[in-house]
A and B are shown apart, each in its own frame.
Chain A
Amino acid sequence: MRAVVKNGIGIFTPQGFLDGSSGNSFLSIDDIDGTIAQNADMILVSLKKVIFFNRNGLDSFVKMFQKVRSANHCTVGFCDYDTKKYAAIVKFYQDDLNFSLFKTQEIATLFSANYKNQNKNILLYNEDKSQRAAMAIELHDSGHNPIVAQSYSEFKEKSDAENAYDIIITDTYLGQMGQKVATRVTGNAIIYTVSSFLDAEIGNTFNIAYHNNSLNVGFRLFIFDAYKVISMNVHALNFFSKLSSAGAEYNATICFVGMSFDKTPKEFKETLEDSGIMFFSQMDDILQDKDMLEELGASSASNVKDKRAINKTTVTELPNFIDATVGTIEMMTNSKAIKESANINTIDISPKEGKIASSIGFYGDMDGMVILVFPTEIAKKACELLIGEETNDTELVLDTLAELVNIVGGKVKTLLADEHISVDITLPRTYPNIDSLLEIVQDKKGVQVDLSFNNDKFIFFLTR
């Protein structure tokens, strides 16, 4: 059984009865290795479709949690259960509860590095005082507004108030949280959160592939939220210096915010400044200063100096990219996809209105990015298999479009592997309008292919 990964959260959904005899069979060694390779921020097992479980049945998943955690430092645990199941798990593991429990996937998302739904008013209650505090801190760090009920009666009273809270958290337990470097995107800046002691381990916990892809798709400002950093050693110093130098060719800027040098040698700061890293005491010093944001290249990618051109290697493999796209569209729509024209130039989208896009990067033996641009209504048709019913929820359509390009990426990977070209794919990115896409690609040359299915036209663009 494999986990479905979405927005950095990988979810296993076993069904039926989890007891001692069946528990182990849900996860093979390949499944566990596959889960580790997905490099998700959070790995959860949903109990939504489990009607019965006992401790033996859960144990195989708990063993998987330990393996994934020690390899990936991500948050692991169970989700989607009722109060009775929560009580059973807590009783089974009592002093051994080193994984997390999230009542729903929505609650889990609040604690992930996803930051998709910020600024929520959240009422929370846990009978354990330290759990209440830990949750409140995590939620606050994630940009939410947690309201902690100190007693069950207070919780009951508060939760009875209608529409007072966006989300109410109960029956949730934070085990060891992820030590991965959490990532969130604010405007066009990427914020990484680092904490405690920065040492050689940063090389493992920092997702360098994500960072490189972010550079490649046009992000230029990277902010390290370092309020909770206690100290930094020489290995971490070297890591950040190199990261800054590597970003220089993209004209990227790295900033540290809130870093105290009480327990870190002062000369480290000078070394980091010499490598181009800037220091600020408050996050708002950057985010609220529009001039500063613009100067640092956060508001657009227009100051990209490195305009990488599409090269022969990429064009040679074009049929594979087209096949992957056409194959995916045909699979999703059950209708034939047709190539209408192909052209090498910068991307040409007209009219721009009413269109959305999604992209996926690939890197390894060759690198580049596939972009699909759809009129919104056509995107809905293309994603009908996954969406199911009629919807006007643009976010849902964008999310599903991301799944579609993920499939394209998976197919590209397979087709290239047949030719002994090894690539990895990045997480998909979506663009709710064409302007946001053009910020990234308007100056990039690439191959544009106009495609259609059932006479519904969409654009494929391959660039580097």
Chain B
Amino acid sequence: MAIVSRGFRGRRDQSVPLPPGQYVVKDFPVLSAGPTPRVQLDRWTFTITTEAGAEHAWTWEQFRALPTERFTVDIHCVTKWSKLDTSWEGVSLDTLLAGVDTSASFALVASYGGYTTNLPLADLRGGKAWVAHRFEGADLEPEHGGPARLLVPHLYLWKSAKWVRGFSLHAEDQAGFWETLGYHMYGDPWREQRYWGD
């Protein structure tokens, strides 16, 4: 059971329910394990590679010709901050996966700069995930993952890989960068799955 912290009252300025252990920020913190990659649009590609080795690739021009969705979501970082009502524009993963023939259950996402993260393929389907290229009405800044980042807002934000360049599909779940370093394989903020064993 939690012990009471003598003299602590708390700010309590939050009326909306938050995942356990989270607090609301108004700014947009940037946390990164390395330098910000600068990706030239004429060299950008997004590639889905199936378990059979088939590649489905889009250039920036082809990606931008796909239908986009505008959506407003709350995002939750494992470092405890949550940002509410963020508005984005991007291509639904349902659109990108429409022509992909696969029976795989897991995706290993890769970014320009070398970052990786893993999640079940089911979490990329069903209108729950996008490759987002605009934030609050403007092109996504490089420090927030531009030109395009994965956005899977129902999982902790480390799953929403910045500078995304694609993912490969697998029968087994393979740990990505933070998942190898102690962070949870799935990362549901509402179940507070921050670390191994949570």
Tell me, yes or no, whether A binds B: no
**Residues of B bordering A, CB below 8 Å:** none
**Residues of A bordering B, CB below 8 Å:** none
